[in-house]
């Protein structure tokens, strides 16, 4: 697949120094962009109105005078709004410098905020060198597996590992959500999730990828491939890998295998599971692209098109999914959720139109994929529920058993 190019048209946050604030400048850039777009819409509407009035005999000159006065007043108002936003964000920046360090590893709610911010504008943040841009990295047992990791940490990995790759606007903690789904299965377990269960039952070490979901899919796939190259180089005892991606994460995993065909780590992958991944594109992004194009047909709404088009390249890439397929790749395990229950009347229409609420069943189970492919639909589960549910784990568990027995 041709690597998508980064877009250049969106507002870019200023390049911060080590002691600069990070959040405040980003908010300022967004506020100024919105104010400018509103001013452009206001100007387009007023120009149409004044042109109509000036076409009336005898009103051309007075209408022109009124328009000049209107434009001067409106320009001053919008300049004041932008200036006020600058003052407020400068105050916020001073507070941020005093109480926050954007260079430190984000945790808790701040990590959630950064993940969402990267989904919306992660490519712009990365291009500007902002410390808010998430760096791609593998995590094991809460520790970062990077060049600074100790030899003992690498040596502590077992012969089998599962790499979990989250979806858009999420992070590695997403796999531990919805633990209440296990209440009837393991009522005494504290927050069960796929990684913990795989380690307990199969001695498979769970590894979690954190990455900037606003970057192009091709860039994140190449980043994952590089992380796995380092994994097998630093921990050659890891002989068996499975890749499990949710939503966008499944696309990243699938594409990484395409980009790294013939590499050492791909040869160790037993299977790749895509949970609710829009392999044939995400309907919401297709609608978003159509709406943005429609907004560009009028001078009045064109500023809104500019705002709509400022969404990250990672989001835009979801419109197509994976249009080209590799000839050689690891076995695929495709899982689709659907909102309709088995016994529900009209379930086939629901699964066809709504799927799991964000990804259609047709897209998640992509019929174009051939070879060693298994497909499973889990009725009654929405898109996010696929992250942590006993019915999904039952599938993963069986595929692990099958791979080892085969």
Predicted confidence at residue 283, as pLDDT, reads 83
| CA-atom Rg of the chain in angstroms | 25
Tell me the C-alpha distance between 367 and 374, whole Å: 11
Cα dist. 18→87, 94, 101, 132, 222 in Å? 22, 14, 9, 12, 28
> How high is the pLDDT of residue 261?
87
Q: How many CB atoms lie within 10 A of CB 86?
A: 13
> What pLDDT sits at residue 318?
92
- Return the pLDDT at 227: 98
Q: Which of 230, 399, 227, 242 is nearest to 330 (CA)?
A: 242
The reported pLDDT for the residue numbered 402 is 95
Where exactly are the structural domains of the chain?
Answer: 137-282+318-405
Q: What per-residue confidence (pLDDT) applies to 350?
A: 60
Q: What is the mean pLDDT of each run of 10 residues along the chain (406 residues)?
A: 42 45 65 66 71 76 74 70 62 56 72 88 86 92 91 95 96 93 75 93 97 96 97 97 98 94 94 97 76 68 64 89 75 92 58 83 92 94 96 97 89
Question: Using CA of residue 358, residue 361, residue 364, residue 368, what is the dihedral sign?
Answer: negative
Position 276 scores a pLDDT of 97
- Provide the pLDDT for residue 65: 75
For residue 3, the model assigns a pLDDT of 43
SS (H, E, C) the chain: CCCCCCCCCCCCCCCCCCCCCCHHHHHHHHHHHHHHHHHHHHHHHHHHHHHHHHCCCCCHHHHHHHHHHHHHHHHHHHHHHHHHHHHHHHHHHHHHHHHCCCCCCCCHHHHHHHHHHHHHHHHHHHHHCCCCCCCCEEEECCEEECCCCCHHHHHCCCCEEEEEECCCCCCHHHHHCCHHHHCCCCCCCCCCCHHHHHHHHHCCEEEEEECCCCCCHHHHHHHHHHHHHHHHHHCCCCCEEEEEEECHHHHHHHHHHHHCCCCHHHHCEEEEEEECCCCCCCHHHHHHHHHHHHHCCCCCCHHHHHHHCCCCHHHHHCCCCCCCCCCCCCCEEEEEEECCCCCCCCHHHHHHHCCCCCCCHHHHCCCCCCCCEEEEEEECCCCHHHHCCHHHHHHHHHHHHHHHHC
pLDDT for res 31: 66
Q: Select from 204, 206, 201 the least CA-distant residue to 173.
A: 206
Q: Which CATH class is domain 137-282+318-405?
A: alpha beta
pTM for this one? 0.79
pLDDT at 311: 80
Which residues does 172 contact at the CB level (< 8 Å), separation at least 6?
139, 164, 166, 208, 209, 210
pLDDT at 104: 67
Please tell me the predicted confidence (pLDDT) of residue 9.
43
């Amino acid at each position: 697949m041709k690597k998508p190019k980064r877009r250049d048209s969106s507002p870019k946050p200023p390049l911060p120094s080590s002691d600069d604030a990070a959040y405040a400048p980003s908010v300022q850039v967004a506020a100024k962009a919105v104010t400018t777009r509103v001013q452009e819409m206001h100007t387009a509407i007023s120009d149409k109105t004044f042109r109509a009035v000036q076409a009336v005999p005898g009103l051309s000159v007075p209408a022109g005078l009124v328009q000049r006065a209107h434009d001067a007043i409106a320009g001053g108002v919008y300049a004041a709004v932008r200036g006020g936003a600058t003052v407020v964000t400068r105050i916020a920046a001073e507070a941020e410098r005093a109480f926050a360090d954007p260079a430190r590893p984000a945790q808790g709610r701040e990590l959630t905020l950064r993940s969402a911010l990267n989904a919306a504008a992660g490519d712009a943040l990365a291009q500007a060198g902002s410390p808010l841009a998430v760096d791609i990295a593998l995590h094991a047992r809460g520790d970062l597996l990077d060049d600074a990791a100790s030899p003992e940490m690498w040596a502590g990995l077992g012969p089998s590992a599962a790499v979990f790759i989250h979806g858009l606007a999420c992070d590695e903690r997403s796999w531990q959500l919805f633990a209440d789904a296990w209440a009837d299965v393991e009522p005494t377990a504290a927050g069960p999730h796929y990684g913990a269960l795989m380690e307990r039952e199969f001695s498979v070490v769970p590894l979690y990828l954190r990455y900037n979901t606003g970057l192009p899919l091709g860039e994140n796939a190449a980043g994952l491939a590089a992380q796995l190259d380092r994994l097998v180089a630093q921990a050659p005892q890891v002989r068996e890998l499975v890749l499990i991606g949710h939503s966008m994460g499944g696309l990243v995993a699938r594409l990484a295998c395409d980009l790294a065909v013939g590499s050492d780590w791909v040869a160790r992958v037993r299977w790749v599971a895509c949970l609710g991944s829009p392999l044939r594109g995400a309907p919401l992004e297709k609608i978003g692209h159509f709406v943005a194009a429609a907004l560009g047909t009028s001078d009045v709404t064109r500023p809104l098109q500019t705002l709509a088009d400022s969404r990250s390249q990672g989001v835009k890439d979801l419109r197509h999914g994976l249009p080209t397929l590799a000839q050689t790749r690891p076995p695929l395990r495709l899982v689709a959720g659907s909102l309709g229950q088995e016994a529900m009347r009209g379930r086939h229409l629901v699964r066809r139109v709504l799927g799991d609420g964000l990804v259609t069943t047709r897209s998640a189970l992509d019929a174009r994929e051939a070879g060693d492919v298994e497909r499973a639909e889990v009725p009654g589960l929405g898109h996010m529920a696929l992250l942590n549910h006993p019915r999904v784990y039952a599938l993963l568990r069986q595929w692990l058993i099958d791979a080892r027995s085969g």
